[in-house]
Structure 1
Amino acid sequence: MEVKIGVQNAPREIVIESSQTAEEVADAVDKALDGSSKVFTLADEHGRRVIVPSERLAYVEIGETASRKVGFGNL
Structure 2
Amino acid sequence: MEIRIGIINAPREVSFESSESASDIEKTVGLALETGSMVVKLTDSKGKVFLIPTASIAYVEIGSDQSRRVGFVG
Q: Which TM-score band applies after superposition, normalised by the shorter structure?
A: 0.7 to 0.9
In structure 1, stretches of 5+ residues that fail to align are: none
State the alpha-carbon separation in 1 of the partners of residues 68 and 60 from structure 2. 23
Percent identity between the aligned chains? 44
Q: Which moved more, 1:1-10 or 1:60-69?
A: 60-69
1:52-71 equivalences in 2 (<5 Å): 52-67=52-67
Kindly tell me the number of residue pairs found equivalent between the two proteins: 73
Partner of 1:11: 11
CA distance in 2, matches of 1:61, 1:68: 17
Structural mapping, 1:1-75, within 5 Å: 1-67=1-67, 73-75=71-73
Instruction: State the TM-score, normalizing by the size of structure 2.
Output: 0.84
RMSD of equivalent CA atoms: 1.7
Q: CA deviation at 1:74?
A: 3.0
Query: Quick one: distance in 2 between partners of 1:19 and 1:43?
Result: 8
Distance 1:36 1:55 in 2: 9
